Amino acid sequence: MIKKVLIANRGEIARRIIRTCKQLGIQTVAVYSDADQNALFKKDADEAYHIGPSQVQQSYLQLDSIIEVAKQTNADAIHPGYGFLSESPAFAERCREENIIFIGPEADILRLMGSKIEARKAMIEAGVPVIPGTDRAVGSAEEALRFAEKIGYPVMLKASAGGGGIGMEIAHSADGLKKAFENNSKRAASFFGDGAMFLEKHIQNSRHIEVQILADQHNHTIYLFERECSIQRRNQKVLEEAPSPSISEQLREQLGRTAVIAAEAIHYSNAGTIEFLVDESGKFYFLEMNTRIQVEHPVTEEITGVDIVKEQINIANNQVLSFKQEEIAIKGHAIEVRIYAEDPIRFFPSPGKITALELPEGKDVRNECAVTSGDTVTPFYDPMIAKLIVYGENRSEAIDKLEEALRQFNIEGIKTNILMLQEIITYEAFLKGNTQTSFLSKYYQPNSGGK
Amino acid sequence: MEIKASMAGNVWKITVQQGEAVEEGQDVVILESMKMEIPIASEEKGVLKEWKVQEGDFVNEGDTIAIVE
């Protein structure tokens, strides 16, 4: 059984993982970079070790240094969180070689699902619907143009090895596609070491709905229902909720069952998320699978009562799942908003020193916050500094609580997107649950309505 | 004319050398912060007279990056 976990991550997710470990009586080891010398997650852990300079390539992506700390501290498992090394087959393999449990799926599953093209093939084989697109990497702009002619514009261009919105762009014309291909391919090559691009039909007026699954190593897979994540900026999520306000019971069950089929087809184990695009008619398509815990996992926890990190550890311990499908039910409604250190108008990053910070309080208010007053938000990492999650008996109660909690949320010294969040939750389209991935670009006009 | 940083971050790439001519709207530097790259363009046509920063430097929003004449 796992007695000591090293958390190969930082910020709010490191704190989140440490919290569950403490509840389970598991010792925790944090690793940190120069920039995180005074970070809260470092103080939360039982032990903390410096692994390198602020740049991620020299710290949080430094597999050797992290493994070294795990060995020296006798950690028997590593939780990778999200981002960084969480989807690295090389890291999972290395853990296995060193006899350290990687809290995640096997390396070959990470490799399979990490390649959009391979993942797509596997899903077609499993009978899961996919978006019309290239079934292999496209190496040049000319090739991309030829393919786009065939499936018709608009098309979505994606880096084969990408994630988190990097290397993605919609093109409406041949000219646009040529430019988008050159920019994004170059970018993907420098970010991921792989400039291969993937092209698919862009589904207009679509929603982003994803299904949380849990799978143990004893052939049990269950789904914990869906999350609606359509409100995005720069292809990154801003607000997520569960359950989705827009789907029928029938579609809910269909999505859940399809997600289970997808996970079973690849013999998946760990917590995972199957992302779908759902069009206006309710037709859905596999988008990708995230083989790790997700930023927005708390909304699922709030409506199902399942601690997903605890289940991940349970699965890694080779135990059977704590729940059967029929024991999982949706109770109430939860909404999460991501607090970004960024200009709420231009979405530009806003690093700096936080001079004051007050978190909202109250029953049904959950804060997952990485920072405190006096901390400096550095330019080295993702701009997300906190998540606010509220729970209500129903959606309108949850929205009321969110409004109140956002009013209480106070961060000074840096710019944040709180003003934007306060504004968008008053929009008619949001109140009606009518949110599509184009929601922000369509409705959010910061200059007209900013408070 | 001074070219100023539109956000805080690291100077990732300088794309125009001192003494070179720049067009209006031409990107002269790329800043990088929190996994986002922001190109900064010259607002006027002219010659890049002086760089106030080097690649790798950290700049705050509003800092002068370069002078174009």
pLDDT in tens, A401-449: 999 999 999 999 999 999 999 999 999 999 999 998 889 988 887 654 4
| The pLDDT of residue A346 | 84
CA A322, A260, A313, A81: dihedral to nearest 10 degrees?
-140
Token pair belonging to A210? 């994803």
pTM: 0.88
| The pLDDT of residue B37 | 82
Question: Within 10 Å of residue A329's Cβ, how many Cβ atoms?
Answer: 9
Which residues in chain B touch residue A343, judged by CB atoms under 8 angstroms apart?
7
Which residues in chain B touch residue A164, judged by CB atoms under 8 angstroms apart?
35
The answer to whether the CB of A304 falls within 8 A of the CB of A224 is yes
Q: Which domains does chain A have, with CATH numbers?
A: 4-103 (3.40.50.20), 132-201 (3.30.1490.20), 207-449 (3.30.470.20)
Question: The CATH number of the domain where B62 resides is what?
Answer: 2.40.50.100
User: Order of strands across the sheet with A284-290?
Assistant: A284-290, A270-278, A207-215, A221-233, A236-242, A333-340, A384-392, A365-369
| The pLDDT of residue A451 | 32
Contact A352 B36 (CB under 8 A): no
What are the residues whose beta carbons fall under 8 Å from the beta carbon of A14, sequence distance 6 or more?
A7, A30, A41, A44, A45, A81
Q: Nearest chain A Cα to B61, which residue?
A: A350
Residue with tokens 């007209």: A448
* Residue A4: strand pairing partners: A27
* Residue A157: strand pairing partners: A169, A199
Would residue A96 show up in a list of annotated catalytic residues for this protein? no
Which residues in chain B touch residue A379, judged by CB atoms under 8 angstroms apart?
8-10, 32-34, 58
Residue range A5-25, pLDDT digits in tens:
999 999 999 999 999 999 999
| The pLDDT of residue A162 | 67
Alpha carbon distance A303, A299 (integer Å): 7
Q: Nearest chain B Cα to A382, which residue?
A: B34
Domain of residue B51, residue span: 2-68
| The pLDDT of residue B36 | 83
Low-confidence ranges of chain A (pLDDT < 70): 162-166, 191, 446-451
Query: Helix (H, G, I), strand (E, B), or coil: what is residue A314?
Result: helix
Domains held by chain B: number: 1
| The pLDDT of residue A438 | 87
